[in-house]
Structure formats: structure tokens, C-alpha cells
Chains A and B, each alone.
Chain A
Amino acid sequence: MVETNDRPILRATRLARRFPVGEGVWALKRADLTIARGAFVLVTGPSGCGKTTLLNLLGGLDRPTRGDVEVGGVLFSKLNESGLARLRRREIGFVFQFFNLLADLTAAENVELPMRMVGLRKAEAAKRTTELLEAVGMSHRARHTPFELSGGEQQRVAVARALANQPSIVLADEPTGNLDSKNSAEIMELFKRFNRGTGQTFVIVSHAPGFADYADHVVHMKDGEITGIDHRGGGRG
């Protein structure tokens, strides 16, 4: 088992995922991983090694073929779909490579949506949205729709949305994959800042080698398996 710390917020046990394509493809063959609360973890490896599959399983966006995931002591296998949705809503924030903001909503509404989903009152949600947008440097673009924002700006809004409900874990799948180096560095700095400031756990999938410097732990993957982990003791930032 590869462990990053002995105070786990997230634990994956013998996690495997097989996709029914042709004779079946094992995108993830086996992953045992324990991630501590407040860790900043980078999952890296060559394209097609199963990073995104692992992240989807860790976040409950997909169900494993084998194994289980535990977040804050709750096993995913014990949850039905609505239970899993509730857990995602409160405990997990996602940042995607393609931003995935809702096109019909403004930046502020995108950030506000998860808060409204957990029943936060309009005024409270609006106040927190303003704070988050300020924190990611996007308050001046609050009323803009995604089409009116650059890639870097959209990703900042997506980060704010992921943090909306103050989740324990933020999972980011190639968050800088569509950004230039300057914007990429800014997004990583943003992650690191929140990680240090709030103690939230960040698990970031990326094959960009330079980002290892930000991480406390770097998980290496190859051919659907975790091949090793580097403990880096705090990382950059």
C-alpha cells in the first residue's frame, strides 16, 4: 500500500476499473492509496496510464469494477447514487481540464450553484461567491458568462466553484492542460495557496513534470498501476 500520511481523509483499497470495450480494457488494474487530510498530491504518469480513471473513482464520478474508496470514513460502496451525490456536493470539489462551466450561467452563478444545491441561502451564497471570486482574482468578471472569459479566467472560476462548499478534498484533472505556462503556474499557485490557507486536500492529475515541485507527495503511475510515491515534504509555494 502506498501511503502519503497516517491521518487519512481518502483511502482507496485495491481499486480497479475495467471498461467493456472489445474484450475489456483494464484502465486501472490496482490502486491502493491513502491520502492524508491537508495533503497536496500530484498524480503523474504517461498518457493513458489511468490517472483520470483513478481520479474519477476517488471522486465518485465513476464506480470501480473492484475495490472501494473511503472518504472521511464513508465507503462509496455503501452509498447509493443519491448518497454519493450528497457526498460529492459537500466533501469533494472538481476542477476539469476543459473547465466545464455551465454556459448559460454567469461566473458568479456558476460558483453559487453548488452552494444553492446544499441549501445555502441566497444572501449567504452571494457573499461567499464574492469572496471566492475575489480570492481567485475574478470578482471583476462576476457577471460574465464563460464565453466571455479566457481559458485562464474560466479555470479560475472553476476553481472557485470547486471550493464553493469548502470541500475536504479538491480533485483536479489536468487543470492546466488547456492553459499556457503563465496561467498554468497561476492556477497551481492558487491551489497551493488554498491548500495552505484552508487545509483542504488537493489531488491533482497532471503529466507536466514541473508541477512536482508544488506537491507534498507525487504518485507515479504506469499501465494502470501505482508504481511509486515520492514524499517531498511540503513542496514549493
Chain B
Amino acid sequence: MAFLRMALRNVVRNWNRTGMIILGMLVASSLMTVTVALSSGYAQGAALSYRQMVGADILVYPNRFVFGGPDDPGDSWQWRLLGADQPTDALFFHPALRRGYLSPSEAPAAYFDADALPAELKAIEGVAEIVPARLMNAFLVAEDVGDGSPVRIPVTLRGRDLALDTTYWDIPAVVTIGRYFRPDQDGEWLAILNQQAFEMGPYPGERLVLDVPAVKGRMADGSPILDLADLKTFYFMVYGSYLLSLGQVRIENAVELQAADQGPVGPPPTWQVAIDEPEVWVPAATFDRIYEQVSGQPFRYTRQLCIAVDNMFLAKDISAALSEVLPDATVLTVPQEVALAGIRYRARLQSWDPFRVEVVRQYSSRPTLAVDLKSELSALAFVVAGLLIVANMYILVTQRRREIGVLKAVGAADRDILTLIVTEVVGYSLAGSLLGFLTVRLLTIASMFASHESMVEGALLTVKAAGMVIGLTVGTALVFGLLPALEAARTPSASLLRDS
């Protein structure tokens, strides 16, 4: 106890030393925190998009994309809130999120029934524009110029209804190369590509190879479960490419547009709706056929409602409001808290049917870019942070060899010396790592408040991350504080006093 008290007294009294060591620990743990947030957070964020596909009924998303529908009897409609003129920071950091959702919506009006929307939903501010859509994740197979092995580029496969094309969208105006579909080609294996995203081929007339994830089943609500481990290959003739540039397409209120007897309405298009993303458009009936082949069932839309809001704080309010009016629906704010999503996801796993659980697990275990980042960037940052801690601890102990020598001379045993050092090391490293974690966390939250941007990074700093950072910092400090302390404790007092 005497040494425990002495250690605590040392920490409190020697402010210069305490300050310097804690500062070092703070920097190290901040570095670790950022690394953990970027690496595991990125991975979680990327995986989250797919989890949403089989997860929540309603997504509340900061700023943009929206889809789905609650209580859908089957094939009736999908919803989307527009405004996707710029990618959000979330999409910048987590492009996989973008690939997982519909962007422009192009389903025939027959699938869409605005009247089916619950009145409460329409009453919530922010749920305004809703259109049907078709979407499927796919992979464009390209040959790598390096070693010739095939490379799969993630793309979004969109079912494009030709009637909508010709009626509401001034397709000839946006197609700059090649041609566009004709109504009589609906159901044929044709595709047009986003020229913006594919600067090099395939060109019109060439063959396009697409790998489409098999649909292994459905959730209880009818949503498809995509099996990314089981890809089905399809060959298309590239019929043309399109290029959307700013000022060409305007979508103001798709509900009104579609309700207005499908006629061309409103002012000339002025917005870019297709962002620079790889995407492949096929005729709507072709899309249905693809879906039927990979699922063995008629096409059914995923049933999620996504709501775009200006910032994450508003998203949380809306999320709460939605939960209130739709108590049976799972409302998820993306990326409200990735950890929260993870917790819900895990909690839901317990009750999901085994097949659904397996699909998610398969995807979760798949190596991704994020995992690569984690292994390399994390290793680098952790080495730097670790060196900081090691240096700190080494200095803490080696500068005090004389003190240790004196303590031994007055009767301190090895155990007492270790108690003293361990207590100080734990004190310093706990305080430093906690402060480091909180610093990064607070700075992130402050910047989110200031910018009204999404809370992606902030949200990623979870309790688990805190535990990881603090545990690693304290653990490293303990190991590298104990080694010189052990050495000093075992050195005869006379040597310690003489050497120092």
C-alpha cells in the first residue's frame, strides 16, 4: 500500500513529468483512435450497405438517397427521395454505400402506388418525393491490363423502363454516344453504359459481361437476399452509352410527375441526377428476366424506405418520429452509429432465419478494401503510436534508476518497485488514452456540428473502439514499462546508484 500511495502521489505531484507523459500517451492514443475509426469504421461502413439490404425497413440517411416501402403486399412500389446532385462525405468515404442503393428511379408507374403510403409518413417533413425503381448489384467483368486476370468492377444494374425513358426523360438529349433503347427492344439482352464512369470500352456493338449476385431467398417481408458469393454471368450487347452532364435532367417531384398521367411536365431538366458512378442500364423487362434467372422467382422490389435529411441530428429526430408512427418497422439511421447498427444487426441475427444469417456472415467475412486498409494503415499507425508509448515508458523508468536504487537501499523489494512502476504506468496510460480518445471524439463531433455533415467518422468511434484504443495503450505501456522496471528491480542497488 505504501508504494501504491507513493505512485499516486508521484503522478499527482510531479506535474512536469505527468504532463509530458500524458501528452505523449494522448498523441499515441489519438493516433490509434483515428486509425481504428478509419479502418474498422470503414470496413463496417462498407459492409453496412449490404446489411441494409437485408436489414432495416426504413433508412434515414443524411442528405440523400432513399428507397423501399413498408407494408408492401408484394410488388407494388418503391420510394425514393431525390436530391442526389452531389455525393455526401459519407459516400466519399464509403462508396460502397452508394453502390448498394438506387439512385435514379426508373420503374413503371404500374408498380407505384402513391396512395399506398401511410398518411403519417407523408405528414413527416422530409418524406416528399417518392418514385419506383429497380436496382441490382452487379459486377462488370473486365480484363486487367497487368496480368490479364479478370477484374470485377462493382456496378449498379438498373432496370430502365422504356416508356418512362421516352415520356419523362429526354433520353435522346442525354445520350451522346450510340443510341437508346426502343420500346420494341424491351426484354432483349441489351445494355447502355454510363459513359462518365467508363472512359474506356466496352463500346457499342461489343459484348458486355456482367456478373450478377444470385438471389438466394427472401426475407419475411419479401426483400431479396443477395448472395455475393454466388455470381451468375450474363452477356449483353452494348447498345450505346449515355453521358449525363450538369443542366440536362431535372426531377422536381416525381410523385407529381407520375401522377400527372405520365406526360412530360414541368420546366426543362436542369439537374444532373446520375452521378459519376459505374452503372449499366438495361430495358426493364430484361431486368426482370435477369432477376428471375438469378432468383428463380418473379422480380420483387426491396422494401426499404430511405429518407434523406440535411444533417444527422435531423435524421435522428425523423428516425424517432418514424419509429413512433410505424412501431412495427425497424428504423435505422445510416450511419447513425455504425456500432448501433452493428448491435442491432447482431441482435437481429439471433432472430433471423438461418439462411439470412448465413448470407450476412458470408459477406461480413469477405475481404474488402477496407480490410486491406486496416491491415496496412493500421499497422503503420499502430507502430508509430506504439513507439511513442515505448519511448515514453522507457524514459519514465530509465530516468528513475537512481530513485529505484534508493528505494531498494531503504528496503524496497522487487515487488514493491514493480507495484510503484505498474501503478504509475497504468495511471498515466489510462489518463492519456482516455484523453486521446475523447479529444478525437470531441473534435469529430464539433466538426460535424460546424459543418452539418454526416457523423460518419464520429459515429464510428464506438465504445468498442474506445476499449480497443485504451486497452492497447495501457497494454503496450505496461509491457514496455515493466521490462525496464523489471531490469532495474533486479539490478543491485549499488549498481543503480553508481550508474546514475
Interface residues of chain A, those whose CB is within 8 Å of chain B, are 56, 59, 61-63, 81-82, 85-86, 88-90, 94, 96, 100-105, 113-114, 116-118, 161, 165
Q: Is the CB of B414 within 8 A of A82?
A: yes
Q: How far is the CA of A118 from the CA of B405 in the complex (A)?
A: 18
> 23 A–B contact pairs at CB < 8 A?
A56-B492, A56-B494, A61-B408, A61-B492, A62-B493, A81-B413, A82-B413, A82-B415, A85-B411, A85-B414, A85-B416, A86-B411, A88-B411, A100-B402, A101-B406, A102-B403, A104-B10, A104-B13, A105-B6, A105-B9, A113-B6, A116-B2, A165-B411
Complex alpha-carbon distance, A94 and B494, angstroms:
12
What's the nearest-Cβ distance from chain B to residue A169, in Å? 13
Which B residues are CB-close (under 8 A) to A63?
492
Does B479 touch A at the CB level, under 8 Å?
no
Interface of B is mostly: helix
Q: Which of B461-500 contact A (CB under 8 A)?
A: 490, 492-495, 497
Q: Which of B10, B406, B414 is within 8 Å of A81, CB to CB?
A: B414
Given A63-B492, A82-B415, 14 more A-B residue pairs with CB atoms under 8 Å apart are: A56-B493, A56-B494, A59-B409, A61-B492, A61-B497, A81-B414, A81-B490, A85-B408, A85-B413, A88-B410, A89-B412, A102-B407, A117-B410, A117-B411
CB of B365 closer than 8 Å to a CB of A: no
Residues of B within 8 A of A85 (CB): 408, 411-414, 416
Output the residue of B10, B409, B490 with the most chain A CB within 10 A. B409
A62 touches B6 (CB 8 A): no
- B14 on the A face (CB < 8 A): yes
A118 cross-chain contacts in B, Cβ below 8 A: 411
A113 and B495 in contact, given A88-B411, A100-B406 (Cβ under 8 angstroms): no
B495–chain A nearest beta-carbon distance, Å:
7
B497 contacts which chain A residues (CB < 8 A)? 61, 96, 100
Q: Which residues on A sit within 8 Å (CB–CB) of B414? A: 81-82, 85
Produce 1/0 per residue, B8-28, CB < 8 A to A: 011001100000000000000
In the docked arrangement, what's the CA distance between A33 and B47, Å? Answer: 79
Set of chain A residues within 8 Å of B415, measured between Cβ atoms: 82
With the chains together, A194 CA to B415 CA distance in Å?
32
What is the distance, in angstroms, from B376's C-beta to the closest C-beta of chain A? 43
Cβ contact of B409, chosen from A61, A81, A82, A165, cutoff 8 A: A61
| Chain B interfacial positions (CB closer than 8 Å to A) | 2, 6, 9-10, 13-14, 402-403, 405-416, 490, 492-495, 497
Q: Which residue of A lies closest to B17 (CB)?
A: A104
Chain B residues lying within 8 Å of A101, measured Cβ to Cβ, are 406
CB distance from B491 to the nearest CB of A (A): 10
- Output the nearest chain A residue to B489 by Cβ-Cβ distance: A81
A103 to B13, CA, bound (A): 10
Shortest distance between the CB of A16 and any CB in chain B (Å): 15
**CB–CB A90/B411 < 8 A:** yes
Q: How far is the CB of B12 from chain A (nearest CB, A)?
A: 9
Residues in chain B near residue A103, CB distance under 8 A: 403
Q: Could you tell me the distance between the alpha carbons of A91 and B64 in the complex, rounded to whole angstroms? A: 79
**Contact in complex: B408, A113 (CB < 8 Å):** no
Residue of B nearest to A92 (CB): B411
A61–B493 touching, CB < 8 Å:
yes
Q: Is there an interface contact between A102 and B493, defined as CB atoms closer than 8 Å?
A: no
CA distance A101 to B494 in the complex (A): 16
Given contacts A56-B494, A61-B493, A113-B2, contact A104 B14 (CB under 8 A): yes
CB-defined contacts of B493 to chain A, threshold 8 Å: 56, 61-62
Q: Is the CB of B492 within 8 A of A117?
A: no
Option from A89, A94, A104 in Cβ contact (under 8 Å) with B9: A104
A62-B492 CB under 8 A given contacts A104-B10, A116-B2: yes
Q: Is the CB of B410 within 8 A of A89?
A: yes
- Write out the residue numbers on chain B whose beta carbons fall within 8 Å of the beta carbon of A81: 413-414, 490
On whether the beta carbons of B413 and A161 are closer than 8 Å, the reply is no
Please measure, in the bound complex, the distance between the C-alpha atom of A217 and the C-alpha atom of B296, giving whole angstroms: 107
**Residues on the A chain within 8 Å of B495, using CB:** 62
- Bound Cα distance A103, B399 (Å): 13
- The reply to whether B416 and A117 contact each other, CB–CB distance below 8 Å, is yes
Residues of B within 8 A of A100 (CB): 402, 405-406, 409, 497
Chain A nearest CB, measured from B33 CB (Å): 31
Give A24 to B495 CA distance when docked, in angstroms: 16
**Cα(A94)–Cα(B412), bound, Å:** 13
Docked CA distance A101–B409 (Å):
11
The smallest beta-carbon distance between A108 and chain B, in angstroms, is: 13
Known contacts A104-B14, A116-B2; A61 and B410 CB within 8 A of each other: no
B residues within 8 A CB of A117?
2, 410-412, 416
Q: Are B411 and A114 neighbours in the complex by a CB distance under 8 Å?
A: yes
Q: Is the CB of A94 within 8 A of B409?
A: yes
Knowing A61-B494, A63-B492, A102-B403 are in contact, say whether A114-B9 is a contact too (CB < 8 A). Answer: no
Chain A residues, Cβ within 8 Å of B403: 102-103
Complex Cα spacing A167 to B124, Å: 83
Closest to B492 in A: A62
The residue of chain A having its C-beta at the shortest distance from the C-beta of B414 within the complex is A81
